[in-house]
Structure 1
Amino acid sequence: MTKEVFIASGIVFGIVFGFLLKRSRFCAAGLTRDIVLENRWYNAVYIPAIVMMEAFIYFLMVGSDVIPGPKMADFSLFRIGLGSLMFGVGAVLCNGCIVSSLLKCGDGRLIGWISVPIFTLSAYTAKGGWLASTTKSLDKVWSVPDTLLANLPISPIVLAGVGMIIMLWALWYVYNTTKLGFTIPGRYTGWRHIVFEKIWPKEMVVMLIGIWMALGFLFSNWAGRNGGFGITTPLVSWFEFFTAGKSLGWASLFVLGIIIGAFITAWLGGEFSIVKPRLQSIVLTVIGSVLMGIGAVWASGCFIGNVMVGTAQFSMKAWYSTIFIVSGVWLATFIMIKMRTFTRN
């Protein structure tokens, strides 16, 4: 198979990823927010389960020389912390992170088509626009090497394997203690109901997501890119494609696939409808998208790039970023609870 074919596989990975997120109602920012908003303590299990399953498969491939290992660079504690905090706050204002905005684009919610362009333009501004000099200068503030993986006392395969076993047990426990005792009748029957209408258990879907994200490293590498799922830089690549004619890669097609996957799932599940946002939602989304766009660049990643990919590579930068993204989500949640400004969009 040619390199072009593997690049094109990015859109397939995006479609399946979008499908899995839609079928399980999985939103990383929403799950994190609802730990404090709705006291859903068990939400703390889902993302670590994805990370450990992804990490185990990833390091198996690295250890077998199927794909190259991660490249760890120095990072600024100040820039990563500030950007991550901004991203977390922005995700709550948008009622979901940038991946949720992509899903909204696909299922007919116009708020998604407001969020994604603003996020992309904001990210470009921080990455290559008038804020680029600020971004570079922040790199020099409190810079440290990313040495977590190199200093692990045991093999990352063993560590990830143990973590995966613990998380699988936790998923089983959560499933058995939180599952609903009733089902909501659907409009469809047979395969269409099961595949496109029925809400799949998150406990099952997070395992599928973990495997799918690990395979993303493999196909992305075959396409000439050393990395896993990504959102921010791929979205910026679309802006650069339309404005400067730059080429698109595996991850560029991946983000497009998320929108297509959400659309297919919503259409065949009878959920697609054009939903116009309220003014309050628009205002909060614009502010939140700007914070997420700039924050994602300063944090060198978002919920996907840092919390669900970089952590699986045992990057100290990603784990550090995760602390501040979660803190940003919870901070904004507490503030919005006090202000009674939560909206659904």
Structure 2
Amino acid sequence: MLTSFGILFGFLFGFFLKRSHYCIAGGLRDITLEKNISGLISVLLIIFIQAGIFFSLIKLGIMPAADYPNYSLIAMIIGGFVFGIGAVASSGCISTALVKVGDGRITGLITMLSFIITVSSVNNGLLSNITAPLQNMTVHQDTMAQTLQPFAIYIILAILVITFIAMSSTLKKNKPSFNVPYNYTGLRNIIFERRLDTLWAAVIIGIVAGFAFLSNYLAHDYGGFSITGPLSSWLTFLTSNGMSISWGMYFTVGIVLGSFVCSLGNGEFKLQGSDGKTLFKAFIGGILMGFGAGLAKGCLVSNGLVYTAMFSIQGWIALVSIFFGITCSSLLMFQIIPSHHLSYTNR
């Protein structure tokens, strides 16, 4: 019973991603491309609100301290970087792909399926011959959390104060000068349609993600939001017998359902195909993200949002690597290649 609560947390995550049109990878991309720091503020809000809840639960004795596995520096850097490239190619990370599945876009389905197949191949298939040696290189103990834990609450509070000040300033600067006319009234307008800034969505997601640790623990597991492992587990579940559905597996279904309900409520649900080029990019993006997430043992959500909130050094290394992957591929795709094309055609 408690295991199935994962679907509720996934529902809320998917609902508020869709409700605010928030793409985590897109926000990180815009830091460089558009000089817009809202994406950075959003990520910091999710991480440190979540961290405050996580370390408070440990401090209060409700949950035991986490056991941090060893990590490979090489695998984290390469895996994170490749994942970032894939997120740009598919126009969003794997969480965005699940949101797209929920609102009827075939590109999301293509990305999700290529991601699942690739992760499974990294874990147990042909690609493991490439990734396993990398995962056994430059292995280190993850001891940052143990070092910082006595000061964790003070660090979190200090960063949250600075982040909320930045959030307040950004909200004032981005306040719309006019009101967009709504299609609905009453409760439907409030729940599904009225403007929800991505920064407020990040606050809500951070709170939900923080209590996901408690829900996971009560379900006899340990961890928070997770997508990579649970998605590959669905493939195992469908192709073998005797495997039970985990909290994380329910969580991934919840993301799709949350997006579906939100898109129905605001009138945005539509079964939507795409052109061949976009579908191909979605397919390649899923492969790259699957390879990167399998190698780094986590995606932008699990490594970049959850492990960072747990003060895991591997999470921060992965997040920085994903950011550089997103930045380099975005500059190449949206600035360098287009500028060369223009200079060539103007000759």
- Pairing 1:91-240 to 2, within 5 Å after superposition: 91-152=87-148, 154-240=150-236
Alignment partner, residue 258 of structure 1: 255
Deviations, residues 169-210 of structure 1 (Å, cap 9, x unaligned): 221111112221122112111111121122312222211111
Alignment equivalent of 1:324, drawn from 321, 326, 329: 321
The superposition leaves residues 1-26 of structure 1 with CA deviations (integer Å, 9 ceiling, x where unpaired) of xxxx2111111111111111111111
Report the equivalent of 1:42.
Answer: 38
DSSP-derived class of the 2:143 partner: coil
User: How far off is 1:74 after superposition?
Assistant: 1.6
Selected match of 2:8 from 7, 12, 19: 12
Return the offset for 1:72. 1.3
Q: Which amino acid aligns with 2:311?
A: F
Cα deviation, 1:217-253, whole Å, max 9, x if unaligned, reads: 0001111110000000000110000011322101100
Q: Distance in 2 between matches of 1:306 and 1:292?
A: 13
Counterpart selection for 2:264 from 261, 264, 267: 267
Give the alignment's TM-score, normalised by structure 2: 0.94
Q: Following the alignment from structure 2 to structure 1, what is the Cα–Cα distance between the partners of residues 228 and 73? A: 20
Return the alpha-carbon distance in structure 1 between the equivalents of residues 272 and 321 of structure 2: 32
> Secondary structure, in 3 states, of the residue corresponding to 2:165?
helix
The answer to whether the 8 Å contact 2:227/2:248 transfers is yes
| Alignment pair present for 1:26 and 2:22 | yes
Q: 2:278 aligns with which of 278, 281, 294?
A: 281
Secondary structure of 2:145's counterpart equals coil
Paired with 2:39 and 2:129, the residues of 1 have a C-alpha distance of 38
Is residue 339 of structure 1 aligned with residue 337 of structure 2?
yes
Please tell me the root mean square deviation across aligned C-alpha atoms, in Å: 1.4
Deviation string for 1:304-341 (max 9, x for gaps)?
00111000000000001111000000011011012349
Q: Contact 1:197 / 1:270 at 8 angstroms: preserved in 2? A: no
- Report what 2:80 is aligned to: 84
Q: Which letter maps to 1:115?
A: T
Q: How many residues align?
A: 337
Please tell me whether the aligned partners of residues 172 and 203 of structure 1 are also in contact (alpha carbons under 8 angstroms).
Answer: no
Structure 2 gap ranges (5+)? 340-347
SS in 1 for 2:271: coil
Partners of 1:68 and 1:226 within 8 A in 2: no
Return the alpha-carbon distance in structure 2 between the equivalents of residues 206 and 115 of structure 1: 24
**Residues 22-44 of structure 1, C-alpha deviation per residue, up to 9 Å, x if partnerless?**
11111110001112222213322
